[in-house]
Amino acid sequence: MATFNHDQFQCCFQNWIAQQHEDLDELVNALSADSKITDEKLNHLCQKGIKHFEEYYEKRSLMAKHHAPSFLSPTWCSSFENAYLWIGGCRPSISVRLVYSVCGSELNDQLTEFLRGERKGNLAEISSEQLKMINALHCKTIKAEETMSTRMASLQAHSQFFFFFFSFLIKQQRYIEEIADEPLAMLAKMAGRVGESSQDLDRAMDAHSVSLASIMGDADRLRLSTLKDLVGILTPLQTVDLFVATKKLHLSMHEWGKRSDNQIGKRFSSAHDIYLT
C-alpha cells in the first residue's frame, strides 16, 4: 500500500487549486459576450468539471485513509476557510443556495432586458419546473446533511465514552458505533501522566481516523451527487454559470483567508517584537 505524508496532502490541495483556476478561465471564456459556443461544447465543459471533482475526491479518499484528521482541519487552508468547513469541505447544500443567490442577482441585473423579452438563458431564467426540482433537491440534501452531522457527533461521543469490552460489538454495528478499541477518555484517565503514549492509544486513534475517513468519503459523495443532480436539472449554459460562481467563491475565500492570516501574523509578530524590547 502506498504511504503518504503531510507534504503530499498539501500538494494535492495546491494542485486542486491550480486546476480550479484553469477550469475557471475556460468557463469564463465560454460565457464571454463574443463566444459562439454550442450547448454540446458547454455540456462537455460541465462534464469535464465534474470529472475533476471526482478525481480530486478519489485522491483525498485514498490519502485520508492514512490520516483523516489532516483533511478535517487542514493546515494548508486558512483560518477563514477552516471556519466554514463541514466534514472536510463545503456543505453540499451550498451549491443549491448558490443557484438561488446567482439567480436573484442576475435577474436584478438583467431586469430591463428581461422585460423587453431578451433572453440569455443563464441562471436568471430558471423555469418554475426547474425551481420546483431544485427546491426538492435542497430539502433532500439538507436532510442528508443532518443525518451525516448526527453521525459525526455520534462518532465523537463514542470515541470518548464507550467501554473497552464493547469493542467487538462496535466493529460489527452501524456508523453510530464506528469507533473500536478503548475509548480515548478511558485511556487518558488510566494514563500514568498526561499525554502518555501506548499501543492501546495508537490503536484507538488509528481506529478513530479510519472512521473519520469513512465519514469524509461519504460527505464527498454527497457533495458530488448534489452537484450532479443540479447539473441534471439545469441547462448546460446555466450549469456553466453555476460552476463559475462556485469556483469564484471557493478561490476568493482561499485568497481572502490567506491575506487575513498574513495580516494577523504580522500583527502578532509586531506585538511580540515590542514585548521583547
Mean pLDDT (whole number) for 82-100: 93
The predicted structure's pLDDT at residue 82: 93
Q: Is residue 249 part of a domain?
A: yes
The predicted structure's pLDDT at residue 198: 59
How far is C-alpha 251 from the geometric centre of its chain's CA atoms? 13
Could you give the number of structural domains in the chain?
Answer: 1
The confidence band for 182, taking pLDDT boundaries of 50, 70 and 90, is: very low
Q: Is residue 150 part of a domain?
A: no
- Window from 39-53, 98-112, 185-199 with minimum mean pLDDT: 185-199
- What is the domain range of residue 246? 6-129+192-276
- Treating both helix axes as pointing N-terminal to C-terminal, what angle do 39-64 and 236-276 enclose, rounded to 10 degrees? 40
Q: Is residue 25 part of a domain?
A: yes
The predicted structure's pLDDT at residue 230: 96
Contact 158, 170 (CB under 8 A): yes
Q: Is residue 178 part of a domain?
A: no
The predicted structure's pLDDT at residue 155: 76
Strongest mean pLDDT among 67-76, 164-173, 231-240: 231-240
Q: Indicate whether 276 pLDDT > 60.
A: no
Q: Is residue 141 part of a domain?
A: no
* Residue predicted with more confidence, 176 or 252: 252
Tell me how far apart the 2 most distant CA atoms of the chain are, in Å: 78
Q: Is residue 64 part of a domain?
A: yes
The predicted structure's pLDDT at residue 106: 74
Mean pLDDT of the chain: 80
The predicted structure's pLDDT at residue 162: 41
CA distances (Å), 189 to each of 71, 186, 192, 194, 201, in order? Answer: 28, 5, 8, 9, 12
Give the alpha-carbon dihedral of 135, 141, 143, 145, to 10 degrees. Answer: -150
Q: Indicate whether 184 pLDDT > 60.
A: no
The predicted structure's pLDDT at residue 153: 84
pLDDT digits (tens, 9 = 90+) for 16-43: 999 999 999 999 998 886 667 888 999 9
Q: Is residue 66 part of a domain?
A: yes
The confidence band for 206, taking pLDDT boundaries of 50, 70 and 90, is: confident
In degrees, to the nearest 5, what angle opens at C-alpha 171 toward C-alphas 167 and 174? 120
Grid coordinates belonging to 158: 463514542
Please give the share of the chain, as a percent, with pLDDT higher than 90: 53
Mean pLDDT (whole number) for 44-72: 93
Contact 247, 24 (CB under 8 A): yes
Q: Is residue 154 part of a domain?
A: no
